[in-house]
Structure 1
């Protein structure tokens, strides 16, 4: 028996260099209400804007986090003046337009280095808006961070009805979601290379890559973007209500395949709705 244990231990040591790397790691799961405590919501309201953001739990679909609210590009001049006077403001900078809301994880991130993975995957259900994933990473200088952003595309068009043999040509085409309409559950995969360094929403010219060993927080945001400065690639986002539902955020690895095969493309696939 002792000899058998020694042989198994020796075999494990010999096999270790050839072990398959992990293909998935759950970073956040929102099945329980307590899981939402690792995130918090905020909006331009803290700087004098009029947008509102809510982060709440719902038990349906196996337990989900719901990020919802209202996007508004206006701002209150008196509140904005008070915000500029606080130490948290941008050194007295004056607001000229508004319209953003976000939910993000507390810092530091509760997981380790992710360099063995190829990117982040969101199990998400959302309205017809595009959203943005924000990842903050620690820089080499103390107390500084870099913000990387990547687009979460709107849900794909719904397939045409299959039970209408005499449907018109218009009905036979895939149908895009209408404003406020929710899409299906989907998994959105975003490779690390798709994230671009930004500052206050503007892509920076430096060719700096996201370092998955230094992630400090992960978040989701939406902005009322100026179409003349849509640097991330999203169109101008309209005012009004928004809703995004989240089941999990995971790190994924493309196995098999080398880093040269991974590419920079954001992909999405429709998932079967969970029970409950």
Structure 2
């Protein structure tokens, strides 16, 4: 009898493990970390850009340091710098004004599949400016003259001096081409995400947000994908 019970228990445990695996495979967790700024290793996953690449005078930095997270001291990312709308003298680039900085993730090894999720959440503490959250997906045009990833953008207003979780439904990200929204009927493919970025412009953004040249500072705790349904 004891041998029968042992076999029965082993079979039951194996069945439970199989069911648990199948359930998680069919229904992924309700949230998934995409980026977590709790280690200096995270810096290796990002690169900075600004109008200085085209003759502008803006500058940006990204560091991981101890900050007050609201529940004690912990590591978080700080994206900061200075926005200038001026152009350096003698610049050979034909741009009329500067005033932008960004941090973009390096391309993933393959793709991140967020098809099971419907919302991007970012835990941030800012300076009253609005920032731009961008998602890059695999290019829908496979041709030698069109090599850039697809980009989808949404504004994020970050209240000043307090931690805030911004939640952006994926269907609120608009298709863009080099920073401008394009008027086409397209749907994002969240199963083929190549990377993400956060950027800031001196002008434009959400009404009521701080604008203009000058310093900016954005603290970043994490970026997650959520399933809200």
Corresponding residue of 2:218? 244
Q: Secondary structure at the match of 1:3?
A: helix
1:23 maps to 30
Deviation at 1:9, TM superposition (A): 2.3
Say if 1:130 and 1:234, in contact at 8 Å, map to a contact too: no
Count of residue pairs the alignment pairs up: 213
Partner of 2:3: none
**Counterpart position of 2:81:** 69
Query: Equivalents in 1 of 2:175, 2:29: separation in Å?
Result: 27
Structure 1 position 202, deviation (Å): 1.2
Residues 1:184 and 1:18: Cα distance change in structure 2 (over 3 Å): same
Equivalents in 2 of 1:128, 1:204: separation in Å? 27
CA apart distance, 1:10: 2.5
Residues 129 and 154, structure 1, Cα contact 8 Å, conserved in 2: yes
Across the aligned residues of Structure 1 and Structure 2, the Cα RMSD in angstroms comes to 2.3
Contact 1:151 1:233 in 2 (8 A): no
Q: 1:147 aligns with which of 151, 155, 178?
A: 151
Instruction: State whether residues 158 and 164 of structure 2, in contact with CA within 8 Å, keep that contact through their aligned partners in structure 1.
Output: no
Work out the CA distance in 2 between the residues paired with 1:134 and 1:109: 18
C-alpha change, 1:9 and 1:33, in structure 2 (3 Å) is: same
Runs (4+) of structure 1 exceeding 4 A deviation are: 14-20, 232-236
**Equivalent pair of 1:139/1:145 in contact (CA under 8 Å):** yes
1:58 aligns with 2:65: yes
Offset from partner CA, 1:8-27 (integer Å, 9 cap, x none) = 22244456655553111111
Question: Any conservation in 2 of the 1:42–1:101 contact (CA below 8 Å)?
Answer: yes
- Aligned with residue 206 of structure 1, among 184, 188, 193: 184
Equivalent residue number for residue 262 of structure 1: none
CA distance in 2, matches of 1:18, 1:41: 40
d(CA) in 2 for partners of 1:131, 1:214? 24
1:236: Cα distance to partner? 8.5
Deviation (angstroms), 1:6: 2.0
Match in the other structure for 2:164: 186
CA distance in 2 between counterparts of 1:234 and 1:74 reads 24
Q: Secondary structure at the match of 2:112?
A: coil
Structure 1: gaps of 5 or more residues: 85-93, 156-181, 258-276
TM-score, normalising length: structure 2:
0.84
Which structure shows the higher strand fraction?
2
For residues 184 and 161 of structure 2, the distance between their equivalents in structure 1, rounded to whole angstroms, comes to 36
User: Which has the higher mean CA deviation after the structures are superposed, 25-34 or 107-116?
Assistant: 107-116
